[in-house]
Amino acid sequence: MLANYLIGLREGLEAGLIVGILIAYLGKIGRRDLFGRLWFGIGIAVAVSLGVGALLTWGPYAMTFQAQEVLGGVLSLVAVAMVTWMIFWMGTHGRTLSAELRGQMDAAIDHSWIAIVVLGALSVGREGIETALFVWASVSGGSDPVLGTFGAVLGIVTAIVISWGISRGLVRINLSKFFTWTGLFLILVAAGVLSYGIGDLQEAGVIPGQGQPAYSLTAIIPPGGWFSALLSGIFNFTPEPTWAQVIGWVVYVAVTMSLYLGMLHRRSRPTPVTAAAPTASAPTPAAAS
């Protein structure tokens, strides 16, 4: 539940910030008449996201077991790729997000009302589809799908409340630190989803090695216990992973975490200030003497 709550909270905050920036900018330039078109596009994004979630939830039931496992494994890998891209995109574009959105809104206003609808749909729809796909992949591998789904919904509701509070000046939050720490946490969550997806592909026979665990932690973390359920719900933990799952988890965490920490280090370094060259009209010390 905690992992899905943070997924919903983070993605919901990103969408809320985007909506807030677009609404505030339209108000600032005196184009409140365009609010309806923007909200129409946002409504389309929400409907598409809910449709994707419903399709992922009920669509596979008409498929064979092997087809379900292949679909589950592939979508888990896609979810990991999307959330990884999202983490790095927010890390590199967070500081310029407001300027980029204002530029896109200016371009949409210059074209037609349809462009504003499309901008609202694409800006929020990306976050919504990422949320639907990643939450589905996380819930599928968890021990309690209902609780996991509730956690995601609760996170989205919390994000809506926080976004409203920020827009009214009632809530102050260091968004840079929030996205930094949740990014680190989501890397570990994504690694668990990756491991789960590999397991699905092994059960379908796409990847060899099913039924050959690399090690067993059942003596330390018994299946069915509260601690096992907690780890499974947050990190898709399995006490007897295969070698493919272990290798996939370790490689993903090592590579992604190294790149992410490197990005944070580069972002934290102060920008060097170059000294301005003396102008031709300014006398040098030697000339002045």
Least confident among 6-15, 100-109, 193-202, 263-272: 263-272
d(C-alpha 97, C-alpha 228), whole Å? 40
d(C-alpha 5, C-alpha 150), whole Å? 8
Q: What distances in angstroms separate CA 150 from CA 5, 57, 189, one per listed residue?
A: 8, 14, 17
Q: H helices of the chain, where?
A: 2-28, 35-58, 65-93, 97-111, 113-140, 145-167, 175-203, 226-235, 243-268, 285-288
pLDDT higher than 90, residue 262: yes
pLDDT of residue 284: 43
Judge contact between 149 and 139, C-beta under 8 A: yes
DSSP 21: H
The most distant pair of C-alpha atoms in the chain lies apart, rounded to whole Å, by 91
Taken in order 57, 59, 65, 68, is the CA torsion positive or negative? negative
d(C-alpha 26, C-alpha 31), whole Å? 5
Q: Residues near 78 by Cβ (< 8 Å), separated by ≥ 6?
A: 133
Q: What distances in angstroms separate CA 163 from CA 24, 29, 98, 173, 288, one per listed residue?
A: 13, 21, 15, 10, 59
Least confident among 42-46, 171-175, 198-202, 281-285: 281-285
Judge contact between 132 and 138, C-beta under 8 A: no
pLDDT tens, residue by residue, 115-150:
888 888 888 888 888 888 877 777 776 656 677 778
Judge contact between 127 and 15, C-beta under 8 A: yes
Judge contact between 231 and 138, C-beta under 8 A: no
pLDDT tens, residue by residue, 213-239:
999 998 898 887 778 777 877 788 888
pLDDT higher than 80, residue 173: no
State the pTM of this model: 0.75
DSSP 30: T
pLDDT higher than 60, residue 165: yes
The structure tokens listed for 254 are 């090592």
pLDDT tens, residue by residue, 40-88:
998 998 898 888 887 877 766 667 878 888 888 898 898 899 889 888 8
pLDDT higher than 80, residue 199: yes
Judge contact between 203 and 72, C-beta under 8 A: no
Q: Amino acid identity, residue 134? A: F
Query: Which residues are registered as beta bridge partners of 213?
Result: 242
Q: What is the DSSP string of 137-167?
A: HHHHTSS-HHHHHHHHHHHHHHHHHHHHHHH
Start-to-end CA span in the chain (Å): 75
Judge contact between 142 and 60, C-beta under 8 A: no
pLDDT higher than 90, residue 91: no
Q: Which residue has the tokens 């216990």?
A: 225
pLDDT higher than 60, residue 285: no
Cβ atoms within 10 Å, residue 31: 15
